[in-house]
Amino acid sequence: MTSEIEVELRPVKRIVVLGFDERDVRNLLYCALTYGVNRLFWVDGYLMCVEVYEESFKREMDDGVFYVSHVCFARFPEYRKVIEVERGAQLPVVNASDMSVLNAIMKAILAMRGGRGEVADSEEDGFECS
């Protein structure tokens, strides 16, 4: 029994980021850890913590607009799969450089603030990266 299944692909066309902050690497990691974030993203030399409320997915389906509550980012030149924050606490990091949504968000943020700037370097902060 074969049935035709219609598949409709609707890539995100509009993203609204309600807030963003450039952070010191140490502060971003500690905030993510204490907030219960289960992973961070790395996009072309930047570490990102992206906060999306569940309501955003409903709004995307209803309005066709994807809302991101907040993005924190820090310069982090070299990709690492895992970052040890302190005393054995670790956060996994996803290399999202090839993901269109996260890449577009990072590019828009950098464009708004006038290009790439220097923030804390991961090696200077003494984080053990695996």
DSSP 98-129: T-HHHHHHHHHHHHHTTS------TTTTT-EE
* pLDDT per residue as tens digits for the range 39-92: 999 999 999 999 987 776 666 666 778 889 999 999 999 999 999 988 889 999
Q: What mean pLDDT, rounded, does the chain reach? A: 84
Burial class (CB in 10 A: 0-12, 13-18, 19+), 79: middle
Q: pTM value?
A: 0.79
At 109, the pLDDT band (50, 70, 90 cuts) reads: very high
